[in-house]
Amino acid sequence: MRYLPHTDDDISTMLRVTGADSINDFFAVVPEELRRPSGMALPDALTEWELNDLMAALSNADTGATDFLSFVGAGSYDHHIPETVPFLAGRSEFATSYTPYQPELSQGTLQAMYEYQTLLARLTGMEIANASMYDGASALAEAILMALRITKKNTVALSTAVHPFYRQVVRTYVEPTGCSVLELPVLESGRTDLLTLASSADSAVAALQSPNFFGCMEDLPTAARIMHDQGGLLAASFTEPVAFGLYRPPGDDGADVACGEGQSLGIPRSFGGPGVGIFCTRSRYVRSMPGRLVGKTRDQSGKRGFVLTLATREQHIRRERATSNICTNSSLCALSSAVYLASLGGSGLRRLARLNYDKTEYLKRNLSEAGWTMPFTSPTFNEFVARIPGDAEEAHRGLREKGILAGVPLGRWYPDLRDCLLLCVTETATREDMDRLVSEVRS
Amino acid sequence: MSERVGTQGLLFNEPLLWERGSRGRSGMSLPRADVEPAPVDEDLVGNGPDIPDLSEPEVVRHYTRLSQWNFGIDSNMYPLGSCTMKYNPKTNEKQAARPGFAGAHPLLPSELSQGALQLMAELEQYLAEITGLDAATLQPAAGAQGELTGMLIMHAWFKHHDDRRSKIIVPDTAHGTNPASAALCGYRAVPAASGPDGILETAVIDRLMDDETAGIMITNPNTLGFFEENIKAIAQIVHRHDGLVYCDGANMNALMGIVDLAAAGVDILHLNLHKTFSTPHGGGGPGSGPVLVRKKLEPFLPVPRVVPDGKGWRLSDDFPLSIGKIHAFQGNFGVMVKAYSYIRSMGADLKRASQLAVLNANYLKERLKGVLHLPYDRPCMHECVFTDALQQPYGITTLDMAKRLMDYGFHPPTVYFPLVVKDALMMEPTETESRDDIDRFVEALEAVAKEAVESPELLREAPHVCKTERLDETEAARNPRLTG
Amino acid sequence: MKEISELLFPENTLYAEDHEWAKIEDGVATVGINDYAQDQLGDIVYVELPQVGDSFERGDEFGTVESVKAVSELYMPLSGEIIAVNENLEDSPELINQSPYEEGWIIKIRPDDDNEAEELMEKEAYLSFLKGDD
Ligand SMILES: Cc1ncc(COP(=O)(O)O)c(C=O)c1O
C-alpha cells in the first residue's frame, strides 16, 4: 500500500530493536476473547484509478447537485467561490497542520485566525470573535448555554423564525440543563412577535435569526432593548452573513452574541458540511465564551506574533468546568472564509450583497405578476416565502420535472405554510434563470 | 548524524491583511448586474463592513507567505501524541471536491442525492465493521461532539428507563473533552486513578461504580498508549449496575482489525475520522466524530438517519426516541468523503496500518529509552510517553526540548499531557512514517539531549530558526488583543 | 520554581493547607495566597474575585487564580463575610506574584467564628506540612 513505507526488511530490523519476534507480540496484552478471529469484512482495496471511477459514479448519482436550476437556500447557499479560496486554503502547510499549540511553528494559521477573528467581528459589528465553532447551529446552542451561565436564569426564548434545524439542535443541547424553552411566534410581517418576548419577563436569552428563516430582517434593536431591560442577552443568529454587506449587522443593533453559519463565505455546500460556526460577542463576555481564541503578542526580541490565548476557559485545562467541550473546530473553513472576504473586500461585499438583493426583488416582482403572492411584508435579503395557489409539494414536484428546484416547501416545519415555498436567489442566478422559473410558473 | 532537515529557508515578512490593500481594489470577479436596482428600506441599511480591498495577486501572496510559516505533515514527521498525524492522501481531496459532492445542497430531495446517501450508508457499515458495533451516526462534527452525542444517548437511555443517574466515571488519563462532555450532560465526573501499570484496575471501578453512576468513559488504548486490558471485566461491573460503557475511540488507529470492541463490552464509541481515517486536521478542524452503538441504543441515535428506501436511500426523522439533532444538517459530509476514500483505498490493509502504527511506536520507544526518561517501561500501542526527568538536573524542561526540536525540523510531541505523567512528552509516530524518518527524529532528540547537558542555553532560548522566537503568552493572556 | 528555603513566609500570619494565608487584625482577616502558591502557579494572568457582601463557609471556593496554563481554586481559610476585595488585581494580577503578602492580598473577611483561626497553621507548622507535601 502506497501510504505505508515499511519493507519486510524494515520490519525485521525494527522488531529486532524492540526485542519482539513478531508484531503480534505487541498485542499479547489483548485478551484472547477480545481479538478478532477473522479479518474485517471490508471491500478489497482499490487503486487510485479504480477509486476515481467509483467516486465519479457515486458523485454523478447526486444529480440534484449538477443537473438542476436551483433556488434552494434555507441555511446553505450557492455563491461563486473564487479559485484562490480552495487553492490557498488547500496549501498543505495549512491543511495538514494541527491545532496551533506550538506557536513558533504555526504563525501562518495563527495570524490567519487572528485576521479571521477581526474580519468576522467587523462584519457582524461585534467586538470579538472566536476562532470558529462546528457550524451555525452549534454556535447558537453554545451562545444560549453561555447566556444561561452568565445570567443564571432558566428560560430561553427561541423564535420560531429561527431555522427549524437550528432549533432542534438547540433543544438537544439544552435538554440536560432542564431550562424551559419558550417559542416566540411569527407575525404577519414575517418577523418574530416581540410582544410575547416583552411579556414573558425573565428569560436568560432571546434567540432570533436575522435574516430569519423566511428571509425577513428582524427588529433587533427592539429585541435588544427588551432583553437588556430584563437583564438578559440577545443572541442574533444568521445563516446568510452576506446580508451584512447591505443591512446593518447585529452588533450595531445591540446584540450580545452574533452567531451563525459562514458557509456562504467561500465554502462549498458539501451536502451540509463542513461549514464554519461563527461566534462573536462583546469583550466583557470573553471569559465566558466557548472556543479557541488567538491573541496578538510579541516574541522575546519584540517581534509581533500570535498565540492561542485565554485557554483556561477550555476543556484541556478546565476539564469539567470548561466553558465548552469543543476542541477540534472548523479552522480550515474559517481560513477559507477569511480568504474569501479578503478577495471580495469591503467594496466587493457591498456590491455582492446588493446584487443578491436586487435579483431577489426581481424574482419576487415577477413571481407576483405570475400569480404567486408574498405572505410576509418585511424586507428580505436573498430569500423569501412565496404562497402559491394549490399544494406546494405538488408544485415543487412539477417544477422539478422541468429541471428546476423551486426552493423548499415549508409545510414540513410550518403546517400553516403548507402552501408556501421558501425561495433563494444569489448572484449565481442570472436574469434568464429567473425568467425560466417565472415562465414555468405562468404555464 | 545525518544532515539536519531543519534549516533556515527564505521566509517573508507579511503584514496584517488590513495593513495591505487600497480602497477600490478587488480580488474577485462579480457577475454583471442584469436586473434593475430595487429600492431598499433605508432604516435597515448599514455602512458595510470595514474590510480591506485587495487585488487577487495580493491575496495570493498574503496567504502563501503565511502558509510558509506553518508546519504540516507534508513538511516532516509530526509525532504529536493523541492526534494521529498520519499522511493525508491527496486523492481524498479530489474526491471530496467533485461537483456532485461539493455542490450538493443538504436539502436535496433524496432521489437527487443518492450518491451522497449511499456513501454515508456504506461508511456507517464500514465503521461498524471496523469497531464491531452495530449502528452508527455520522452527524457529530468532531470527537468532542461525538462524546456529547454519546453522553446524550446515555442520558436518553436512562430517562427512557425512568432511571436518573448523576455521575460518570472518568479515568485520570482521559482527554479533557471527556469530563467536559459529561458535564454538558449534567453528569458529575468521578475520577478513577490508573494503576501502577498505567491502566485501570478492576477493583477501582468496582469501588466507584454504583446505581447512581451512569457508567464509564474509557479511552482505549488510553492516553498513555496502553491497552486497557481489564476493559471486559470493567464493562461487566458497569453492566452489573445497569450502567453503560462509553469508549473514546480517538485512538482506534492502534486496534483496527485486531480488537473487537463489542466483545470488550463497549456500548457506545466515537471515532475521529480526522485521526484514524486520514482526513486533514486543517490547523484545528474541521473533523468528524461518528458515534457507534449497540443495537439496543440504536433508537436513540441522532436524526436524520440514512435508511434504505426501495432500491436506494433516504433520510428519515422517524425515530421517536432519538436524542434529536446535533448538527444543522447531516454532519461534515466533506470529511466523510475523504474517510470513505481512505477506507476504500486501504481495504484490509487497515489492519496493517494499525500493526505498523504500533510497531513504529514501540520502535521509537525502544530507541529513545535512555535518551529520555520512560515512566512506564512496557510494550505500548500506538504512542509512548516520556518525561524530562533525565534533563531536569541540567535545568532543562520538556518545553525547552520541544522548542529545540523545531530547530531540527521536527514538530514537537504533545507536551504536558496526559496530566498523570508530570512533564510528559507524548509521541505518536503513526504508521506513515518510515523507519528512516523515525531514525532521523531519534537522532535529533539524541542531539537535543546532548545539548541539554553541554549547552543548555541553546535549548532555553530555542527555537532559533522559526518565524518567531518564544512568544510572550503571559502578556497575551493578561491583556487579550483578539482583534486588530 | 524556587526551593522552599528561598520562599518567604512572614511571622504573625496564619497558613492553610491549600496555601492561602490569613492575617487577622482588629477582627478583620486579610487573605491571599502565599509565596509557595504563587511560585508554583507562575505568572498570574487573571484573578476571579467574589462580590463584597458574599458569605462563605470555611473551605468554600471563593474565586480562582489563573496562570497561562492552569486554574487554581481559592478556598476560604475562615468562614465569614467578604468585606473588601483587592480591585487592583483586576488590572494587575501580577501583584500576587510580586507581593503576595502586601499589595497582592485578595480579600478581607469578617470571620464568623474566632475559634476557627486556631485550626490554621503558624509558619513553622506550615513549613513542615509543606516539606511533607512536596
Ligand atoms: C483521546 C481523545 N479524545 C477526544 C479528543 C477530542 O476530539 P476532537 O478534537 O475531534 O473534538 C481527542 C483529540 O483532540 C483525543 O485525543
SS3 assignment, position B442? helix
Question: Rounded mean pLDDT of B311-329?
Answer: 97
Q: By percentage, how much of chain B surpasses pLDDT 70? A: 100
**B479 vs C contacts (CB less than 8 Å):** none
Out of A314, A324, A325, A327, give the residue to mutate to test ligand 1, the one with the largest number of ligand atoms within 8 Å of its CB: A327
Mean pLDDT for chain B overall: 97
CB nearest to A65's CB, from B83, B100, B148: B100
**C93 vs B contacts (CB less than 8 Å):** 478
The residue to which cell 449587522 is assigned: A249
CA distance A4 to B357: 10
C4-131: CATH topology: OB fold (Dihydrolipoamide Acetyltransferase, E2P) (2.40.50)
Residues of chain A whose pLDDT is less than 50?
Answer: none
Other CB atoms closer than 10 Å to residue B287's CB: what's the count?
A: 29
The residue to which cell 516574541 is assigned: A299
CB B350 within 8 A of CB B256: yes
Record the cell numbers describing residue B472, joined without a space.
510572550
Query: A83, A322, A209: which is closest to B180 by C-alpha?
Result: A322
CA distance A108 to A100: 9
Q: What stretches of B229-271 show up as alpha helix (H) in DSSP? A: 231-240
The residue to which cell 451555525 is assigned: A136
Interchain proximity A40–B100, CB inside 8 Å:
no
Task: State yes or no: pLDDT of B461 exceeds 70.
Answer: yes
Element (H, E) at C55: strand C55-56
B409 Cβ contact partners less than 8 Å away, ≥ 6 residues apart:
B4, B5, B6, B7, B75, B76, B444
* Residue ranges covered by each domain of chain B: 104-346, 349-468
Please check whether the domain covering A84-341 is classified as CATH 3.40.640.10. yes
Interchain proximity A94–B44, CB inside 8 Å:
no
CA distance B283 to A133: 13
Q: Is B89 exposed, middle or buried (0-12, 13-18, 19+ CB in 10 A)?
A: buried
Model confidence pLDDT, tens digit, residues B268-316: 999 999 999 999 999 999 999 999 999 999 999 999 999 999 999 999 9
B104-346: CATH topology: Aspartate Aminotransferase; domain 2 (3.40.640)
Pairing between β-strand A155-159 and β-strand A293-298 as defined by DSSP bridges? unpaired
Interchain proximity A168–B344, CB inside 8 Å:
no
Element (H, E) at B365: helix B349-368
Q: Place B1 in a pLDDT band, splitting at 50, 70 and 90.
A: low
Model confidence pLDDT, tens digit, residues A324-376: 999 999 999 999 999 999 999 999 999 999 999 999 999 999 999 999 999 99
Task: State yes or no: pLDDT of C134 exceeds 60.
Answer: no
Model confidence pLDDT, tens digit, residues C35-93: 999 999 999 999 999 999 999 999 999 999 999 989 999 999 999 999 999 999 999 99
CA distance A237 to A222: 16
The predicted structure's pLDDT at residue B5: 87
Q: What is the DSSP letter of A43?
A: P
CB A22 within 8 A of CB A15: yes
Q: Place B6 in a pLDDT band, splitting at 50, 70 and 90.
A: confident
CB nearest to B482's CB, from A88, A117, A314: A117
Q: What is the DSSP letter of B269?
A: E
The predicted structure's pLDDT at residue C133: 58
The predicted structure's pLDDT at residue B188: 96
In whole angstroms, how far apart are CA B352 and each of A71, B359, B379?
A: 47, 10, 18
Model confidence pLDDT, tens digit, residues B183-220: 999 999 999 999 999 999 999 999 999 999 999 999 99
Residue C26 Cα, gap to closest chain B Cα (Å):
35
Q: Neighbouring chains of B at 3+ CB pairs within 8 Å?
A: A, C
SS3 assignment, position B469? coil
Please check whether the domain covering A65-80+345-442 is classified as CATH 3.40.50.12140. no
Out of B219, B272, B332, give the residue to mutate to test ligand 1, the one with the largest number of ligand atoms within 8 Å of its CB: B272
* Residue ranges covered by each domain of chain A: 65-80+345-442, 84-341
Mutate to test the interface with C, among A312, A316, A317 (most CBs of C within 10 A): A312
Mean pLDDT for chain A overall: 97
Peptide bond into A221 cis (omega under 30): no
Q: Which residues contact ligand 1 via a Cβ below 6 A?
A: A 327-328; B 82, 142-144, 175, 177, 219, 223, 248, 250-251, 272, 287, 289
**A34 vs B contacts (CB less than 8 Å):** 231-232, 259-260, 263-264
* Residue ranges covered by each domain of chain C: 4-131
Record the cell numbers describing residue B66, joined without a space.
503565511
Q: What kind of architecture, by CATH, is found in domain B349-468?
A: Alpha-Beta Complex (3.90)
